[in-house]
Copies of this chain bind each other. A is one copy, B any other.
Amino acid sequence: MHVSTTKSLHARWRTLPVGKVQLTGGFWAEKQAINRRVSLRHGYRMLGQSGNLNNLRLAAGAGEGAYRGPVFMDSDVYKWLEAASLDLANAAGPAGADPELEALVNEVIALVAAAQQPDGYINSYYQVNKQPEDRWTNLDHDHELYCAGHLFEAAVAHHRATGERDLLDVACRFADCIDGVFGPGKRDGAPGHPEIELALVELYRETGEKRYLDLALFFIDARGKGRMRGYGRWGAAYHQDHVPVREASEVVGHAVRQLYLAAGVADAYLETGEQALMDALQRLWHDATARKMHLTGGYGARHEGEAFGHAYELPSDECYCETCAAIAAMMWNWRMLLATGDPRYADTLERSLYNGFLSGVSLDGQRYFYVNPLQSRGGIARPEWYGCACCPPNVMRQIALVGNYIATTDDMGVQLHQYASATIEATVGDKRVVLAMETRYPWEGHVHVTVAETGGGEWTLAFRVPGWCNHAALWLNGEIIAGGASDGNYVTLTRLWQPGDVVELDLEMRPRLTAPNPRVDAIRGSLAIERGPLVYCLEEEDQAAGVDLLDVRLAPDADLEAAWRDDLLGGVVTVTAEGYVADVRDWEAALYRPAPVLETVARPIKLVAVPYYAWANRTPGAMRVWIPTH
């Protein structure tokens, strides 16, 4: 999950090392505190209760009873290890060290190491239930390579966060084992669930071992030959095996598979610079964002197959929008941003981050959504874990990592992409630069940056102006230096910085109404409320008593009013709008009536919207993002 492009030849921008961005307060620091204090502990308990840890113990020759859960149980352990490792890297910040968590991490690493077989292989499902000769016989469905990828990601994160090599050595031994099996002149085949591709590139970046990059490229090239049986209506397209990666132009099939694959291909591009890969990625990205993305930055229109639908098939109620798909999309967009410097990727990442991803976890950090619809008729609540528990530990690693999306560097300066109170240590050329950022983002659009250490010499500070922002202004030491209309790009300031220089960015943050592409049938005639990076929704609980969310209407020219509510949902800005409740009594007995149907009488009401990410944290009532206008 953490990406290092510090040595990537084809990266436009370089990431900062783990730990070099420390959140100091505000929205994400609060999320990280809950992630550490509640979620990571809860995750460890659940991995124990659900059998994941016992499966590894069984593989190590200890443990009790039988293997439990689906074939990919190990991957949840690895995702948790990665999350906890990334959280340990946040110990340099105000949160401080967490020796108890560190002890849990070391205990689990020892368990993984004990499970590893002499030749480097690890997969508790195969070790417990199968024979060695069964390995790699069901690449389409059995997730051995997928689990390996998550091990590699965890190992890289742990090494970067702590400098310890123990898990990294385990990972390299397994990678060497796989490299001994697969590759040109060896066994052919691609994993049924992509993930190892991006993980092998990261393992290459961390170890310098080029065989790992080559193996990643091999798995990418092995895909698209129509060899996988696939699933249901999709056939091989379910596994993105219907067309070679370089020829793909549509995101199809299982959404998380497709998006992990795209992230891995972007990693390959960052190292190889192969234009055919970037061309394919840009075609896929256009298809994903201009035809198949929900407003929340969620992906996957269908429950069936956890899959992408047709272009413009974007139902609000029965969409899937798996939390893992939003995470995968962020991973992809972050790599595209690093490769190209195009702010559209940062905009798209931000849309998922604050909406379709963040809805995946409850405000208290111990309940999780797998599916994130944009409409509920009531009764939907987050469970505390899942039989297929891919999402909860994925949420944990994403939240632990979020500081890393804030800043990058190049030879000329520092780029700020996300806004959060944080200290940022960067290296520009040979200069050490330290920035202190303060902001109440996403609630307010004011960002205050103090240049604490300048490193001497001239360099450029760049601020992303989000695509949603129509008016931005930049101030240096109290004097305005840029402003006015923004075209959704970066505003820059190049100078010989002095310690204590203050740069302030003002992003106009008015609540706004958003209209859907008219090809999207499911939300025709409806509008959504957004403010800053946040998508809003109506929850039943906030409306006047007796209002059915099936019958609300929004005036298309409604005045929208934003207000901070300290007491609500952990503190949120609400948006209030003029609306109506339609009288639908004439329709009680009929679904269809002869046109024209006389306008229904509508009663004016105030509609109260809250941020989508915070929905379903109270009584599980009805909810809707898109509000009909008639």
Contacts and interface: CB of A to CB of B under 8 A. Distances in A.
Contacts of A523: 521
A289 interface: yes
Contact of A524 (B309, B524, B589): B524
A290 B591 contact: yes
Interface residues of A, number: 61
Interface in A582-628: 582, 584, 587-597, 600, 626, 628
B589 A290 contact: yes
Nearest to A516: B592
How many copies of this chain does one complex carry? Answer: 2
Nearest to A313: B317
A519 interface: yes
A469 to B, nearest CB: 11
Interface in A285-333: 286, 289-291, 293, 295, 301-304, 309-318
A377 B550 contact: no
A518 interface: yes
Interface in A496-522: 512-522
Contacts of A594: 512-515
B517 A587 contact: yes
A120 interface: no
A527 B316 contact: no
Interface in A238-277: none
A590 B517 contact: yes
Contacts of A525: 524-525, 630
Given A310-B317, A315-B318, A317-B521, A527 B595 contact: yes
Interface of A: 233, 286, 289-291, 293, 295, 301-304, 309-318, 375, 377, 512-528, 550-551, 556-557, 582, 584, 587-597, 600, 626, 628, 630
23 contacts: A289-B591, A290-B588, A290-B590, A291-B591, A302-B318, A311-B377, A315-B315, A315-B318, A318-B318, A514-B593, A515-B592, A515-B594, A515-B595, A517-B590, A517-B591, A518-B582, A518-B628, A521-B526, A521-B626, A522-B522, A524-B628, A528-B592, A556-B595
- For the complex of A and B, the 3 pairs showing the least CB-CB separation, nearest first, are A513-B595, A525-B525, A515-B595
Given A289-B591, A290-B590, A512-B595, 20 more contacts: A290-B588, A295-B592, A302-B303, A512-B594, A513-B594, A513-B595, A514-B592, A514-B594, A515-B592, A515-B594, A515-B596, A517-B584, A517-B590, A517-B591, A518-B587, A519-B551, A520-B591, A521-B522, A524-B526, A556-B596
